[in-house]
Structure 1
Amino acid sequence: MKKTRCLALFGIVLMGCSDGANSENEESMRSVEIGDTSYDVPANPERVVTDYYAGELLAVDAEVVGATTTAFDNPFLEDQLASTENIGEPIDVERVLELDPDLIVVMYDDDLEQLREIAPTVYIPYNTATSIEGVTELFGSLMNNEEAAAEFLEGYEQEAREARAELEDHLNGDETFGLYEVTNQQELYVFGENFGRGGQVIYDALELPAPQSIAQDVMEEEDVLQLSREAIPEYAADVMFITSYDPEGSHQSLDFFVDSSVWQGLDAVENDRVVINDFDTFYPYDPISIRGQIPLFTEMIIDVNLNR
């Protein structure tokens, strides 16, 4: 007989109580280590809910039945999330309950206690693993599907090799590449390898070099650095990829930098080697997005025509 599983919030039992995991699933549990914490999880999870790890889970063939709103803004996940429920942002705990998950995986701990009343909940803080290899293997282990993780990484490595070979005739060998972002608050950031915006593609998959200033001051520190407008030349690359974070779509902050004399004096600007990228496409850093960004960056680098 199945157990009825309800969640009480503030002393009130939510409507829509769901059937709990069947006895087979309850008995078939295993222990996984995430950092310094051990979690008891289903041996083979069948219904997974997550906040920000949809791409990581889908990369290892997990059945993601619920994810937060951000996942649905990711163009690389659109098809795979067609039957996935949007659980809101922040998480709507009652909606999670209605989905009857057997595993919940979260990046943030805001609702941990309530979520643990619904199903085994694994808390994986941001940057627990950084490289695409480390992230994919971590989630492959969590989902008890190391085979899917290995298959995904094999495909990634093959596509990366092919992209590097395609670029050989389009590189002079001494160009540097940088990733930057302008926010709607007139802030400018430069990024390293592990902060999204395509860092894993440029510096890992394509093995392209950053300027020495970025390598030392960004990659060896926190992988992100805020710049003043006056400091831009010090961190400018030969090829500069810019994302503009502006939810309202006015991009006035981007204009603030682009129209400045400092910006106009950059070699990358004078040589037409600045590329403005879509935020939703290049912000994501899950394995599926990284893999999907490889051909996009390859095409952009060819288009800037470094050999002219």
Structure 2
Amino acid sequence: MLKKNSYVMISALILMLSVLVSACGGTNNTKGNNAATNTPAAETETPAATEEPAAQLRSYETAKGAVEIPTKPLRVVTDYYGGELLAVGANVVGVEPSAFDNPFLKEQLKGAEDVGAPINVEKVLELKPDLIVVMYDESYEALSKIAPTLHIPYGTATNIYETVKLFGDIAGAQDKAEQFIADFNKKAAEGREKLKGVVDENATFGLYELTDKGELWIFGDNAGRGGQAIYNALKLKMPAINENAKEQTVQLSLEALPEYAADYMFLTTYDPEKKGEELKKLKESGVWRGLNASKNNTIFYNDFDTYYRYDPIAIMGQIDLFVDMLVERAEENKK
């Protein structure tokens, strides 16, 4: 009886061990077979890090050779082309310091940072641009190691149409460039209409600047000071002697000024310390007081920061400023 019981106990023990071994084997199979747990294989593996798609690039030809640039740049750093890039909707994240004094750009540059003048390479690196556009190339090699860099020398474009088309192409925003030009043409036409009957169609208009050193200059249609707005948009006439000048800027002596005088004269004064001494001397001079524009009250003294600017957004804004001042002065002179 004892032997029989022992045999039964041993048999039961062997059976229990067999079940236990089968269970362990089943557990191992479950871990190795996702179907057993209804868990998709992808969910049991560690997911790979999501990679950003590579930006599409295109070749852009420059004087320094072909440069591979993004077809749609997302973060642009520039020195002196802030307004040109903003005009076509580019995201300007860094720009030289004087751009922040441009009254036409202040709102649009609220999110941008000062990259210095000359441009500070370390600051540019912090901003992580995917495109850099510079007027001056002193740091070109260093900047090119940060991101694709385009050197666009001053004077590459000669008027607002060429400028907007150029930067629309650079920013991959040809549609926005076309829209800007359409808006510019519309505003220019409206301005010309407002001036009908206000100024004589044969009257001449001159742009002048006095410096804090007493230097006197006259400007053409593409050197800032409102040239694009006056001559291109509003189609007002230059003084004949300046119309044929090859240079955009000509320095004048006070004695030669009457030869370059216009029926309407717009003077900006470069006087960073706001001393006003040279302007006072000019106004008190016999030459200045003897000008027809002085006698007819058609001289306008304009703010440097507002009229120095020549980017497309500034030019657009200057149209209204010139039209308004001419209309107001005409009303004043009637009294």
Q: Return the TM-score normalized by structure 1.
A: 0.89
Please tell me the root mean square deviation across aligned C-alpha atoms, in Å: 1.5
**Which residue among 231, 235, 239 is the counterpart of 1:203?**
231
Give SS of 1:241's match: strand
Is 2:287 aligned against 1:262?
yes
Which one has a larger percent strand, Structure 1 or Structure 2? Answer: 1
Give SS of 2:330's match: coil
Structure 1: stretches of 5+ with no match in the other structure:
1-20
TM-aligned CA deviation for residue 303 of structure 1:
2.0
Q: CA–CA distance in 1 between the matches of 2:324 and 2:221? A: 20
Q: CA–CA distance in 1 between the matches of 2:63 and 2:146? A: 23
TM-aligned CA deviation for residue 210 of structure 1:
1.1
TM-aligned CA deviation for residue 251 of structure 1:
2.1
Is 2:49 aligned against 1:24?
no
Give SS of 2:244's match: helix
Partners of 1:241 and 1:274 within 8 A in 2: yes
Structure 2: stretches of 5+ with no match in the other structure:
1-50
Give the corresponding residue for 1:223. 248
1:32 is matched by which residue type in structure 2? Y
Q: CA–CA distance in 1 between the matches of 2:176 and 2:215? A: 40
Give the corresponding residue for 1:164. 192
Larger gyration radius, structure 1 or structure 2: 2
Query: CA 1:243 to 1:152, structure 2 compared with 1: closer, same or farther past 3 Å?
Result: same
Give the corresponding residue for 1:285. 310
Partners of 1:97 and 1:118 within 8 A in 2: yes
Give SS of 2:218's match: strand
Q: CA–CA distance in 1 between the matches of 2:298 and 2:121? A: 46
TM-aligned CA deviation for residue 36 of structure 1:
7.8
Give the corresponding residue for 2:324. 299
TM-aligned CA deviation for residue 74 of structure 1:
0.2
2:262 is matched by which residue type in structure 1? A
TM-aligned CA deviation for residue 185 of structure 1:
1.1
Give the corresponding residue for 2:145. 117
TM-aligned CA deviation for residue 37 of structure 1:
4.1
Identity of aligned residues (%): 49
TM-aligned CA deviation for residue 211 of structure 1:
1.4
- Residue-by-residue CA offset, 1:138-188 (whole Å, 9 max, x unaligned): 000111110000000000000000010011020222211000000111100
TM-aligned CA deviation for residue 34 of structure 1:
4.1
Q: Return the TM-score normalized by structure 2.
A: 0.82
Matches within 5 A, 1:4-83: 24-25=54-55, 28-34=56-62, 37-83=65-111
Give the corresponding residue for 2:166. 138
Partners of 1:35 and 1:128 within 8 A in 2: no
Q: CA–CA distance in 1 between the matches of 2:301 and 2:156? A: 30
Which one has a larger percent helix, Structure 1 or Structure 2? Answer: 2
Q: CA–CA distance in 2 between the matches of 1:278 and 1:252? A: 16
TM-aligned CA deviation for residue 58 of structure 1:
0.3
TM-aligned CA deviation for residue 39 of structure 1:
2.1
Runs of 4+ displaced beyond 6 Å: none
- Residue-by-residue CA offset, 1:194-235 (whole Å, 9 max, x unaligned): 100000011000000011111123xxx111100000001000
Give the corresponding residue for 1:4. none
Give the corresponding residue for 2:11. none
Give SS of 1:41's match: strand
Query: CA 1:186 to 1:212, structure 2 compared with 1: closer, same or farther past 3 Å?
Result: same
**Which residue among 244, 255, 273 is the counterpart of 2:298?**
273
Query: CA 1:22 to 1:51, structure 2 compared with 1: closer, same or farther past 3 Å?
Result: farther
Give the total of aligned pairs: 283
TM-aligned CA deviation for residue 22 of structure 1:
5.4
Partners of 1:164 and 1:206 within 8 A in 2: yes
